[in-house]
Structure 1
């Protein structure tokens, strides 16, 4: 089994697409006005409007901007450099500036426009680097 994607359901599709394009430097593929994807080598972040819920059984199965239990994580080459690049434009979204975590990653925490927690991280200790080494 492979985890292929994570989908965010939102009432503000374009706002979220713009945020994640700026954050990742990727360009989203927009399939419809209600659905887009940002593809990375490891997984895809999908963004769907609340209107897409009709295809899954109705509006009651998911609610936008309600998550408080999941962190969307992106490994980046240099989190400090990414922070410096994004600091001015995303200043209001920063939850925690780059900090080395006990498990060896340097992490930058932000909130997207829907309030989802986003972690940009770079492994920095030998153990963390080894964990993410290509094998």
Structure 2
């Protein structure tokens, strides 16, 4: 089994896609007005409007209500990324900090309130884990 993508359902797809394009430096591939994807080297971040959920059934999701999932991106240098994106982010939860498990981590929220973690492995064990 291989995790392929993570999908965020939003009521404001254009705003959310633009935000992720800016913070990741990637361009989204739009398939319809209601669905876009940002492809990374390891997985895809899919973003769908609430209208896409009608294909699965009604009342399955509540946009902008995530309180338990963190979307994580491994970056080459979290401190440099912070300097690049800090003016794009309205809600920085934690500036770059080295965590006990060896990653240097920047935690912030996207426009829907989802937690986003940019991290860089910095200890020998953490670097080994991701090599």
RMSD: 0.6
1:4-19 equivalences under 5 Å are 4-19=4-19
Say whether the 8 Å CA contact 2:103–2:126 is kept in structure 1. Answer: yes
Using the TM superposition, give the Cα deviation of residue 89 of structure 1 relative to its aligned residue in structure 2, in angstroms. 2.6
Q: Distance in 2 between matches of 1:56 and 1:39?
A: 23
**Counterpart for residue 121 of structure 1:** 119
- The 4+ residue runs of structure 1 with deviation greater than 3 A are none
Q: Distance in 2 between matches of 1:50 and 1:84?
A: 33
TM-score, length basis structure 2? 0.98
Q: Distance in 2 between matches of 1:89 and 1:39?
A: 21
CA deviation vs aligned residue, 1:11-44 (integer Å, no higher than 9, x gap): 0000100110011000000000100000001100
Give the aligned length: 131
Q: Distance in 2 between matches of 1:105 and 1:7?
A: 25
Q: Distance in 2 between matches of 1:16 and 1:45?
A: 11
**Counterpart for residue 55 of structure 1:** 55
**Counterpart for residue 79 of structure 2:** 80
**Counterpart for residue 105 of structure 1:** 103
Q: Distance in 2 between matches of 1:89 and 1:64?
A: 21
**Counterpart for residue 37 of structure 1:** 37
Q: Distance in 1 between matches of 2:53 and 2:86?
A: 34
CA deviation vs aligned residue, 1:66-106 (integer Å, no higher than 9, x gap): 1100000000000000001112232x221110000000000
Instruction: Report the secondary structure of 1:61's partner residue.
Output: coil
Q: Distance in 2 between matches of 1:111 and 1:119?
A: 9
TM-score, length basis structure 1? 0.95
